[in-house]
């Protein structure tokens, strides 16, 4: 089963994350959305990340603003691919989050997307590309997506769970 865990630092991030959910649906990927903070609920982050593979996740997308420690903390506790999405949340308009996510130490990689909605949507596409390596159905949808000018044709299925 194609399954992605999307973690976001706070409820205020939901409006950006929700712009990506139709992409997961299109590719046939179940997207479970969670709120957890590297700073306010570090035990929850540890538990989620360290058990994500056993819970059936193939990729984790971590969305955070400001200091944006969430993607790096998640990456510290899992061997799954982690995709970081920097969000605007300060006077620096997300540039601070981008720097935090892209400047990971050697050995703890996080793929970094663009700031905001484009980054959230590209995280969905990159998740699909990763999963397409072992899933022909997702690969076929990616081929269709590319032929359609990298736009959705709205033939996806509802595969999202919000918690």
Q: Domains of the chain (ranges plus CATH)?
A: 3-162 (3.40.50.1970)
End-to-end CA distance of the chain: 19
Assigned token pair, 41: 């609920």
- Note the pLDDT of residue 41: 95
Mean pLDDT on 121-131: 98
Rounded to whole angstroms, the Cα distance separating 82 from 144 reads 25
**119: which residues sit within 8 A by CB, 6+ positions away?**
85, 86, 113
Residues 97 and 65 sit within 8 Å (Cβ to Cβ): yes
Q: Which two tokens stand for residue 49?
A: 């990340």
Q: Model's pTM, two decimal places?
A: 0.92
10 Å CB burial of residue 42 (0-12, 13-18, 19+) is middle
pLDDT in tens, 32-76: 999 999 999 999 999 999 999 999 999 999 999 998 999 999 999
């Amino acid at each position: 089963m194609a399954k992605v865990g999307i973690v976001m630092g706070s409820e205020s991030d939901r409006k950006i994350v929700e712009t990506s959910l139709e992409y997961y649906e299109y590719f046939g990927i179940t997207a479970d959305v969670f709120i957890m903070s590297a700073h306010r609920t570090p035990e929850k982050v540890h538990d989620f990340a360290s058990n994500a593979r056993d819970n059936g996740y193939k990729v984790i997308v971590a969305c955070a603003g400001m200091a944006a420690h969430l993607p790096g903390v998640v990456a510290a506790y899992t061997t799954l691919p982690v995709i970081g999405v920097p969000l605007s949340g300060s006077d620096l308009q997300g540039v601070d989050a981008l720097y935090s996510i892209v400047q990971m130490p050697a050995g703890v990689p996080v793929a970094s997307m663009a700031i905001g909605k484009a980054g959230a949507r590209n995280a969905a596409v990159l998740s699909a590309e990763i999963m397409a390596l072992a899933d022909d159905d997702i690969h076929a949808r990616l081929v269709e997506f590319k032929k359609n000018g990298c736009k959705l044709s709205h033939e996806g299925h509802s595969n999202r769970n919000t918690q």
